Amino acid sequence: MPVPTLELRSVTKQFTVTGRPAFLAVDDVTITAHRGEFLVLVGPSGSGKSTLLDLVAGLTTPTSGEILLDGAPVTGPGLDRGIVFQQYALLPWRTARGNIEFGLEAKGVGRRERRTIADEYLELVGLVGFGDRFPHELSGGMKQRVAIARSLAYDPDILLMDEPFAALDAQTRENLQDELLRIWRTTGKTILFITHGIDEAIYLGNRVAVLTERPGRIKEIFDIDIDRDAVDDLRSSERFRDYRHRIWLSLRPEAQQRAVAGDVVGTVAHV
């Protein structure tokens, strides 16, 4: 039996906005990420993806339901979870290496060891020679690599990633997807990855959970059974196209409703 690392049990999140009825963003979400699993949540804009990630990160608390990490309830943020946000949340006054060392300082790791670990992770994300650069001296893709290195360096059990490649160009995004898969295989981390892109979800995930639009509910979960090393151009393979079609169908009613309402932001992109 696979070991559950992260369990969401009937998680619901309501927001209270002054002068308005309570707003239901996430409704009764139950899902488990097993140890070493790459679990992807895919859903249209406003389906509560970031809200769910914030809940798992312990930045907010559920209105009802519970979130368990290795069986223990999440009560707040912790170094057992590494977070990579959509926008590069790097400290601008610190170098790439300094940013990676940040979480290690919080853990009380000594100066020399911090440097060794930071250099190790710079290498892991392909940034050897860039350790002394400040964020403004790095490209978007490089900044995102630093953010990934930072969240991995303090050795969290689980990596939470909120559309980390959404702001990047297609080529950089594909490179980083490959890099992330390599890191995942090397480290064996459990990853919870959020995206609105169907292709990205299939390319990365062991399992892909489709969320409905407002309020976010789990609509369907797909086991992605593809041998990533067997084909050269995975995204063009028959199997990949089949998953793409099935997930697209699963997402479609939501996308259509939004399109009818004239809200193009809700349309699910084929990225």
- Which residues sit at the interface with Mg ion, rule CB under 5 A? 49-50
According to DSSP, the residues that pair with 67 across neighbouring strands are 8
As given in the structure block, the two tokens for residue 4 are 């559950």
Nearer to Mg ion, 122 or 198 (CB): 198
Q: At what angle do helices 170-187 and 140-153 cross, to 10 degrees?
A: 20
Interaction residues for ligand ATP, span 178-197 (CB under 6 A): 196
Question: Which residues 6+ apart lie within 8 Å of 255 measured at CB?
Answer: 44, 213, 266, 267, 268
Question: Is 96:133 a contact under the CB 8 Å cutoff?
Answer: yes
22 binds ligand ATP (CB under 6 A): no
15 binds ligand ATP (CB under 6 A): yes
Residue type, 103: G
Min separation Cβ 157 and ligand ATP, Å: 23
Q: What's the CA dihedral at 194, 165, 83, 127 to 10 degrees? A: 150
Nearer to ligand ATP, 57 or 138 (CB): 57
Question: Is 122:150 a contact under the CB 8 Å cutoff?
Answer: no
Question: Is 235:203 a contact under the CB 8 Å cutoff?
Answer: yes
258 binds ligand ATP (CB under 6 A): no
Nearer to ligand ATP, 5 or 47 (CB): 47
Ramachandran area for residue 256 (φ above 0: left; ψ -120 to 50: alpha; else beta): alpha
Nearer to ligand ATP, 189 or 196 (CB): 196
Min separation Cβ 49 and Mg ion, Å: 5
Min separation Cβ 258 and ligand ATP, Å: 12
Find how far residue 61's CA is from the centre of its chain.
Answer: 19
Quote the DSSP letter at residue 59.
S
Question: Which residues 6+ apart lie within 8 Å of 263 measured at CB?
Answer: none
Q: Binding partner of residue 5 among Mg ion, ligand ATP, none, CB under 5 to 8 Å per kind?
A: none
Q: How many chain residues touch ligand ATP (CB under 6 A)?
A: 14
Min separation Cβ 190 and Mg ion, Å: 20
Nearer to ligand ATP, 55 or 125 (CB): 55
Please choose, out of 45-53, 136-144, 226-234, 248-256, the segment that lies near ligand ATP by the rule CB under 6 A. Answer: 45-53
Nearer to ligand ATP, 142 or 202 (CB): 202
Positions in the binding site for ligand ATP (CB under 6 A): 15, 17, 23, 25, 43, 45-51, 196, 214
